[in-house]
Amino acid sequence: MIPLSETLSQGRELVAEIEHRSGQKVADCYQCGTCSSTCAAADAFDYPPHMFMRLLQLGAVDRAMASTTGQLCYDCMTCSSRCPIRIDVADVIETTKNIADEQGIRESERGLRLFRNLFLKNVRRHGRLHEASLLAWFNLKSGKLTNDLSLVPLILRRKNVRIVQPRIKDRAQVRRIFQRAKERPRW
Amino acid sequence: MSGGDIKLVGFLCNWCSYAGADMAGTSRMAQPAEMRIVRLPCTGRVNPLLVLKAFQEGADGVLVSGCHPGDCHYNEGNYYAHRRLELLSRMMAVYGIEPERFRYTWISASEGARWAETVTGFTETIRPLGRLNLAGGGARDDDHHQGPAAGSASPAEKR
Amino acid sequence: MRIGVFVCQCGTNIAATVSTERVASAAMALRDVVHAESIQYTCSDPGQRTVIAAAHKYALDRVVIAACSPRMHETTFQRTMAQAGINPFMMEMVNIREHCSWIHSDMEVATEKAIDLVSMGVAKVRGQTPLFSSHVPVVSEVLIIGGGVAGIQAALDIADAGMPVTLVERGPTIGGNMARLDKTFPTLDCSSCILTPRMVEVKHHENIRLMVNSEVEQVRGYIGNFEVDIRKKATCVDEEKCTGCQICEQKCPSEAPDEFNAGVGETKAISIAFPQAVPLVASLRKEYCRLYIKGKCGICKKVCPADAVDYEQEDELHTEKFGAIVVATGYELFDWRQAYPHYGGGLYPDVITSIQYERMLSASGPTGGHIQRPSDGAEPKEIVFLSCVGSRDESIGRPLCCKVGCMYIAKQAILTREHIPDSRTYVFYMDVRAGGKGYDEFYRRAQKEAGAVYLRGRVGKIYPRGGKLVVMGADTLVGENVEVEADLVVLATGIDAAAGAGSLAQRLNIPYDQYGFLSESHPKLRPVETTTGGIFLAGACQGPKDIPETVAQASAAAAKVIVLLSHDELETSPMIAEVNHMRCIGCFKCREVCPYHAIEEQGLRDGRRVAVVIESLCQGCGLCTVACPPSVISLRGYTDNQLIEEVTAVLR
Amino acid sequence: MVSTAYSYYPGCSLTSSATEYDISFRKVVEALGIQLDELEDWNCCGASPAPHHKAETLGVLLPGRNLHIAGASHDAIVAPCAGCYNRLKYAQYKLAGDQDIREQTSEVFQAEVRYQTEVLNIVQMLNREITPEALRERSQGRLANIRIGAYYGCLLTRPADILGFDSPRDPRKMRPLMEATGAEVPHFPFKTECCGSYMGLARKDILLKASHRIIEVAVSTGLDALVTACPLCHQNLDLRQEQINKAMGTSLRMPVLYFSQLIGLAMGISPEELELDALVVQPDMDRWLKGVA
């Protein structure tokens, strides 16, 4: 049950923040479902995109922020490209997720968070991503040790594959970039 | 003149804005009393010189209001008006008049509330500006005469 | 100059906030005012009698009535003036109700303002001169543009009233879109059974002249007196001689797309659109004819038993006079192919439009009433209908609702069950709009009796798989995606204004919206009039409509035409523009801005070319007065001097 | 002095799981006689994990650094990886449109940021350097025996208002060159559907389903191969094809080529040189090149 009198007044500010940051109007959505029908991951979401939009329309931002939709959406923007109202649905979802992050709402999708963190850590340290290291660390940290190991020989039969972690020269610059992003994640 | 010290003139087209002002009246929407409405068939009939004449004769603010673009009773009158009035509003400063004193807007026959808001907003914009002092602007009975109109500043002379 | 001022109390409507007595006495102080009084209800009979009496007593020649909005009672008091022997235009109304007493509460402020308004009115009426309406004779013939059900209805109504009608149709037959329908909702009447008798009636009506293959090229003139150029296009067939035997069509070797059947099946370069066409006359499309493409053929001419084929036939240009014009150009269906690449963009043969499906349903259609998959001719069992293809979709510039899609889908779902009892139909919809009489019941019948599976959601993608079409949609009610393996997909395409409606509107000088639909003068109170006098609208040219609405509007337009033409003469407004010929410099800037083409060039005896206002065309907008460089055009009733006097009356 | 050569930004994938893309691209460019200067000391663009979306800092600064370096020496930078291309364009869009972002970026880079270098993807660049007519001339219908599908995926076309490359609903820019190889390029209904992106490690289930659908439709469309310009798509569709089949209980086989490999084949470069052996799902080259002397 969604207590509308409450959610519509309490959720108003957060919805306004989402609308402001994404530049989209949630009230524009007329719930046709095109976004969901084109979404390759909708089956895995607890709320498919149109329902996610509906939650925001009803002011139920808490529920939207805690949903797996934001965490699992990988921003392919198919929904945005097909929306008959031209709403950038992917942006609304991503923005809501970012606000949830800022508010410290815990991600239930730990694997994905781990992937993102390891990815960025690798880039922060070395300036470039090393896919093999990422795979190794991910498997180690997630406990899924054999994950994707079958792919390794397939990759290794390529010429020129970098076995060791590549590093760029001006790592100081990259550190500065990450430092700035940490201090000020948004412009 | 009542309703405070300032004097405002509104040139309204008969089909949209005048009817919108009627609507505001029918709906009893309270408005400041400084506005004096002149009814015209179309904003396309509003000669920019008429606006300047109003200022010269003592108006402290002039509002022109007509049908929304695309809604003109005469099909395209308001497009001509838009072009002329846009140019005029950019020229206001040249005539020594604060640009805020002149405004044009589109209000339909059904937008009574919008008319009331527009009049209120416009009046509140002009009130702090006070009376218009057209330095060198020429004859204005209740102002001090600044001597003969200086150079080409007076639109009346040009006319 | 003797001016009388009458200040209305309007009961307490005005008198509660404005001291009408004080206004009247202040008016007495104004120049040339010889009488002023306050009246309780000026518009009432006794009130008007008081005004008339005062006019006589004080020998008034001008009157100011301070009361309600002129939009309310200007004509009332103009009539009062006429009774009082004063020119009706020598009266000025001052609005002290809507613009004063009703929006202010302070009596002092409101009274002062009312006094100001009265002085403005007095200043304006002082500059007024008597004006006289002129009369123009009316041509009693009517032009109707478009021969669909709207044009047919309007033509028959007007012709029955005894007025001659010319019905101009662009295509080779009348009947329009309705003639292509199999059944009509919500009654399932056979469309041609109800329409074709009306078409025949048009053909035989003594007051109707039917011109097919004809288009309106130019329109000059004004209400009561239009002059119209109509081009009758050459069709290489003599209409008088052709008997409609169709031998030419049978023998013609050149295939051509079948527009009447929306591309389901093919026809020939020379053909009759459909068996019930009116007139039943063949026409030849040169762009598909072998004779014109390859320079060699001529079979149709050889086989025609009536000797009706004439390759030398040329376009005819007719110039006719009409008193009124009814525009009934109808609609066409949205071309979805560019806009919906994710539905295959026209590449999958088994994704068809609803009108194509309709032609298959029709017993007289190209499949003889059998529903067939275009790809292999097989009978489909799983049929998916998609609503709102080209409607309610801002991303392709079509936010409007087509208004009939929901209902014709329901109809087609019901008919599908009748044609193929073991079929299953699916309907993807966003909302079901069933707001007419018997409509909701009809749509429920599609679900209950025809077993149509209604799915609330839009379809994101269609793609072929193993001879079937996978339709990927969302069911927003369960919040899950759904998928149908369909044999046939039918798109309920939206409604566009007929091609060329915008350019026709320009020729007629009537406004139209961004979709090409023609604009009515007022959406509530003048729904069939346009802003140009004498031109009326009927049917879907004004916006999406179903058949009952179209017919109703066509009859309404006919009624308006009949009222207009029931007079021999028309009175024209005298509040129009006037050029001072002595000072006109002949630059014709006025002609450029005039929306009504009401300015013409005239040579004077001294050789100068000057602008002249055509009084019957001028609508009195005043655009020309501003455009005139030497300011020698004035608008009667709103002259520069009057306006300046009105403004300065309160500023000085 | 600005060079007439292209600045070349391979990006991380092209140095590990997609080296065949790098090698085949260089081969094609070499055959066309164009100079590529690998961007000096380039860094990772941040790809999908770096938050971007409208106002996020990292999404501008990481690709911004590459733009900045390229701007010192080159008029145009080419990024064969669709992801890198997407992020470079995004950074450029933000930097061009917002003075505040420019200033803050310059502050971090300790220099006036250079962002105006033209950013090109592989399709744009090759279209510029070889016309379909010229390619047709060179290929002499070499690939006339096959049907291939142009697979665009997401990052090459979306968001369209920033990338300005092709229609997000109905992209067609790969087609002219693909047809010039002599191959048939039928309509591929899933050309813009997403393959599952970076979900491979954490949520393989989502990815395998999405990629399976694409392969399945490619097979039912009767294609001999898909062609892509994105290493991530390639990884998901080719490298993981066994995983897909295993998870979905199918035995689909669909070779997936890089755009550069296809163009290279048409130009007469050998399959070995183009690293076609690196593909997990091998095309039947004998059949493909049947009738080629």
What's the CA gap between D132 and D145, in Å, rounded?
18
pLDDT of residue B135: 62
D6-122: CATH topology is Glutathione S-transferase Yfyf (Class Pi); Chain A, domain 2 (1.20.1050)
Cβ–Cβ of D217/C342 closer than 8 Å?
no
Q: Note whether A116 contacts D49, CB cutoff 8 Å.
A: yes
Residue D76 CA to residue D82 CA, distance in Å, equals 16
Q: Nearest CA of chain A to the CA of D153: how many Å?
A: 8
pLDDT of D257 > 50? The answer is yes
C100 within 8 A of C113, measured Cβ to Cβ:
yes
With b for 16 or more beta-carbon neighbours within 10 A and e for fewer, the D188-219 pattern comes to: bbbbbbbbbbbbbbbbbebbbbbbbbbbbbbe
Which chain A residues contact residue D243 at CB under 8 A?
150
pLDDT at B145: 40
pLDDT at C524: 85
Res B110: pLDDT: 81
Neighbours of C137 (CB within 10 A): 12
Percent of chain B as helix, strand, coil, to the nearest 5 = 40, 15, 45
Residue of A163 and D265 predicted with greater confidence? D265
Positive or negative, the Cα torsion across C302, C306, C312, C313?
Answer: negative
Average pLDDT over residues A37-45: 94
Coil vs helix vs strand at C132: coil
Q: What percent of chain D has pLDDT over 70?
A: 97
Chains within contact range of chain D (3+ C-beta pairs < 8 Å): A, C
Structural domains of chain C, ranges and CATH numbers in brackets: 3-126 (3.40.50), 142-233+315-330+498-565 (3.50.50.60), 247-303 (no CATH), 332-496 (3.50.50.60), 573-636 (3.30.70.20)
Q: What pLDDT, on the 0 to 100 scale, is given for residue A108?
A: 80
pLDDT band at B156 (very low <50, low <70, confident <90, very high): very low
Task: List the structure tokens of D239.
Answer: 């490298």
Q: C310 to each of C248, C282, C284, how far by Cα in Å?
A: 12, 12, 10
Residue C97 is classified by DSSP as I
From the candidate CATH numbers 3.40.50.2000, 3.40.50.11810, 3.20.20.450, 3.90.1150.10, the one assigned to the domain spanning D132-288: 3.40.50.11810
Contact C460 A37 (CB under 8 A): yes
Helix (H) or strand (E) holding C113: helix C107-126
Q: Which residues pair with C467 in a beta bridge?
A: none
- B137 pLDDT more than 60: no
Q: Do D189 and C345 touch (CB under 8 A)?
A: no
Tell me the CA distances in angstroms from A167 to A115, A125, A135, A176, D23, one per residue in order.
20, 8, 17, 16, 21
Cis? peptide before C595, omega within 30° of 0? no
Q: Identify the sign of the CA torsion D136, D137, D139, D144.
A: positive
Share of chain A above pLDDT 70, in %: 100
Could you count the other beta carbons within 10 Å of the beta carbon of residue D1? 3
Which residue in D12, D208, D244 has the most chain A C-beta atoms within 10 A of its own C-beta, making it the best mutation to test that interface? D12
Residues of D in contact with C393 (CB under 8 A): none
User: pLDDT digit string (tens) for C90-125?
Assistant: 999 999 999 999 999 999 999 999 999 999 999 999
Average pLDDT over chain D reads 94
Residue D53: pLDDT band (50, 70, 90) is: low
**Which pair of tokens denotes residue C61?**
């020649």
CA-to-CA distance for A136 and A116, rounded, in angstroms?
14
- Ordered DSSP codes for C301-345: HHH-TT--B-TT---EEEEEEESEEEE---EEE---TTT-GGGTT
- Contact by Cβ (8 Å): C116, B10: no
**Mean pLDDT value across residues A103-124:** 90
Strands D76-78 and D6-8: parallel
Contact A37 C395 (CB under 8 A): no
D41 conformational bin, left if phi > 0, alpha if psi -120 to 50, beta if neither: left
Do A37 and C472 make contact, defined as CB atoms within 8 angstroms? yes
pLDDT of amino acid B133? 82
Pairwise CA distance, residues C567 & C320, whole Å = 20
Residue B143's pLDDT band (boundaries 50, 70, 90)?
very low
Please identify every stretch of chain C with a pLDDT value under 70, giving residue numbers as ranges: none
User: Cβ contacts (< 8 Å) between C596 and chain B: which residues?
Assistant: 74
Query: Chains touching chain C at 3 or more Cβ pairs under 8 angstroms?
Result: A, B, D
Q: Note the pLDDT of residue C92.
A: 97
The one-letter amino acid code at C248 reads: C
In contact, C511 and B70? CB cutoff 8 Å:
yes
- Cα angle, residue C317 at apex, residues C222 and C236 outer, rounded to 5°: 145
Whether B144 has a pLDDT exceeding 50, the answer reads no
List Cα–Cα distances, A95 to A11, A19, C492, D117, in angstroms.
15, 9, 36, 29
Instruction: Report CB contact under 8 Å: C102, B37.
Output: no
At A175 the pLDDT is 96
pLDDT value of position B72: 84
Mean pLDDT to the nearest integer, D257-261: 98
Give me the residue spans of the domains in chain A.
4-102, 110-183
What residue segments make up the domains of chain B, in order of their start? 8-158
Contacts of D190 in chain C (CB under 8 A): 463
Q: Does A74 score more than 70 pLDDT? A: yes
Task: With beta carbons less than 8 A apart as the criterion, state whether C94 and C113 touch.
Answer: no
Q: Rounded CA gap, D2 and D74, in Å?
A: 5
- Amino acid C334: pLDDT: 96
**Per the structure block, which two tokens stand in for D259?**
């755009």
- Domain map (residue ranges) of chain D: 6-122, 132-288
Q: Give the up-direction half-sphere exposure of residue C522: CA atoms within 13 A in the CB hemisphere.
A: 8
Nearest alpha carbon to residue A177 among D87, D51, D50, D58: D58
Residue bearing the bigger pLDDT, B96 or C206 = C206
* Residue A49 with chain C: CB contacts under 8 Å: none
**Contacts with C342 from chain D: Cβ below 8 Å:** 169, 192
Q: For C394, phi and psi rounded to 5 degrees?
A: -65, -30
Minimal CA separation from C350 to chain D, in Å? 15
Architecture of domain B8-158: 3-Layer(aba) Sandwich (3.40)
The ipTM value here is 0.80
Portion of chain D with pLDDT greater than 90, in percent: 94
CA distance A122 to A142: 16
Does D3 have pLDDT greater than 70?
Answer: no
Out of A30, A38, A51, the one facing C460 most closely (by C-beta) is A38
